[in-house]
Amino acid sequence: MHSPLYRKIETDMRQRVQEGRWPQGGMLPSRKSLALEYDVDMRTIQRAISNLLADGTLNAFGGRGTFVAQNAETLTDGDFGKLGNGTVAIIDDKSFRGIQPGWYVTYQHICDGLHRHSADTRIITFNTHGDSAEQIQRREEDALSVIARERFTGVIMAPSEGARNSSAIRDVLGSGIPIVFIDRVPFDEECDFVGIDNQLAAMEPVEHLVNLGHRKIAYLAPNENISTIAGRIAGYKDALAAAGIAVRDDYVWRPSLNASLTRDSLVDELSRFADTLGESDDPPTAVCVVNDFLAEFFIEVLHDRGISVPEDLSVVGFDDLERYQAQTPFLTTVRQPFESIGTRAAELLVRRISAPQKQASVFQHVLMPTNLIIRLSTRAL
């Protein structure tokens, strides 16, 4: 059986590092230029790079690029140790165990991954969900204070909006307690992260809509200052630019974050955007939504106004939450590998705890591949 193409590219890239053609500390060429060089699409390049990020050969830093690790040695299973009876914290807001089943799957795989290395490890979850962004941030800061004071063994964390708690995060890191971030990062500097390349992943649904003949494509995302949303909006704009379509400010819809935290306020906010479709002289023909949870609410609001999906408006989500539901999936969406994110986050934290000195300079951004799942919520014009 032939190896997948991305594996061959991964092997070639690894050889470039080992032979010094890509020197330690050096920045890799852009994914676009690598795709042209290898004559493949950028998603194939990303899959090849993901494995090199996972084993520490490469480091990635949001907004700065991908680099060859300074000590560029492959981390092996021998780097794993035992966690013993330490305490690991998981910090989340509304995602892991609440409204989004995908992140609950991630939570389960994190716990399973940690317990594979020690059944005696205690896992304490800090649920920082609140009714406002300010309340979420206060609860997150309180959790970080407890973790620092009680000298937890490690942390896996989906940080809240912006950099408000970055000083508390830095205090924990400075005390020697490792943190692995998932889904988003609080700052661009050296840190461990497991998730996806949101910018690249968000391009694919836009490309799909363009191929269906859509030129008027809107984007819907909460007005929340996190790297996940910033990356997806950037990918939306990149895909439009690549298709020669100008970005229209009136097509980028940003409901307030606080409106997204309760059902009633969310429906009210989405209703306002739905009303603009009927009032506009030049409405969009398709909408990309930042996640499936928001997309499903939006489709309900559209239905209440007699706007049919996809007959009147094509809608694309992100996450593929419908795979966890009983009904037949309807929404075209980008599938996140929730299971793999949880497993990799646990593995990376175990490595940090087991060999802190060896890995002190090998911060990793492990970017997992995504897939566009085409269903019935989109159609050709």
Of 74-78, 185-189, 252-256, 365-369, the poorest mean pLDDT is in 74-78
- CATH number, domain at 269? 3.40.50.2300
Question: Is residue 121 assigned to a domain?
Answer: no
What's the number of CA atoms in the CB half-sphere (13 Å) around residue 205? 38
pLDDT at residue number 337: 92
Total domains in the fold of the chain: 2
Q: What is the mean pLDDT of residues 56-65?
A: 68
Q: What is the mean pLDDT of residues 235-241?
A: 95
Question: Is residue 164 assigned to a domain?
Answer: no
pLDDT at residue number 24: 82
Residue 240 · residue 206 · CB < 8 Å: yes
Which tokens hold the place of 265?
């306020």
> Is residue 51 pLDDT above 80, yes or no?
no
Q: Which residue has the higher pLDDT, 362 or 84?
A: 362
For tokens 């981390």, name the residue: 75
Each residue's pLDDT tens digit, 89-111: 999 875 554 457 788 889 889 99
At which of 53, 68, 83 does a domain end?
68
Q: What is the mean pLDDT of residues 253-282?
A: 81
Of 51-55, 118-122, 244-248, the poorest mean pLDDT is in 51-55
pLDDT at residue number 42: 79
pLDDT at residue number 186: 87
Phi, psi values for residue 288, rounded to 5° = -95, 130
Determine the Cα angle at 347 with ends 61 and 73, to 5°. Answer: 60
Question: Is residue 267 assigned to a domain?
Answer: yes
For 197, 220, 247, 287, 378, the CA distances from 252, given in Å and listed in that order, are 21, 6, 8, 9, 19
Residue 306 and residue 312: Cα distance in Å, rounded? 9
241: exposed, middle or buried (Cβ count in 10 Å: 0-12, 13-18, 19+)? exposed
> Per DSSP, what are the bridge partners of residue 335?
319, 371
pLDDT at residue number 77: 40
Q: What is the mean pLDDT of residues 319-340?
A: 93
Average pLDDT value for the chain: 85
Give the rounded distance of the alpha carbon of 170 from its chain centre.
21
Question: Is residue 257 assigned to a domain?
Answer: yes
Each residue's pLDDT tens digit, 141-194: 999 999 999 999 999 999 987 667 788 999 999 899 999 999 988 876 678 899
Please tell me the chain's helix, strand, coil percentages from 3-state DSSP, rounded to the nearest 5: 45, 15, 40
pLDDT at residue number 376: 97
pLDDT at residue number 97: 44
Residue 78 and residue 112: Cα distance in Å, rounded? 20
At which of 18, 37, 68 does a domain end?
68
Question: Is residue 281 assigned to a domain?
Answer: yes
Percent of the chain with pLDDT over 90: 45
Each residue's pLDDT tens digit, 244-266: 999 999 999 998 876 666 677 88
- CATH number, domain at 15? 1.10.10.10
Question: Range of 61's domain?
Answer: 5-68
Contacts of 332 (CB under 8 A, 6+ apart): 205, 208, 314, 315, 316, 317, 372, 373, 374, 375, 376, 377, 378
Residue 362 and residue 200: Cα distance in Å, rounded? 24
pLDDT at residue number 290: 96
Q: Which residue has the higher pLDDT, 182 or 44?
A: 182
Q: Which residue has the higher pLDDT, 116 or 238?
A: 238
Of 70-74, 201-205, 224-228, the poorest mean pLDDT is in 70-74
Q: Which residue has the higher pLDDT, 124 or 360?
A: 124
Question: Is residue 179 assigned to a domain?
Answer: no
Question: Is residue 230 assigned to a domain?
Answer: yes
Question: Is residue 345 assigned to a domain?
Answer: no
Q: What is the mean pLDDT of residues 186-206?
A: 88
H helices of the chain, in order, are: 5-18, 31-38, 42-54, 101-117, 133-150, 166-174, 198-211, 227-242, 263-279, 292-304, 338-354
pLDDT at residue number 76: 42
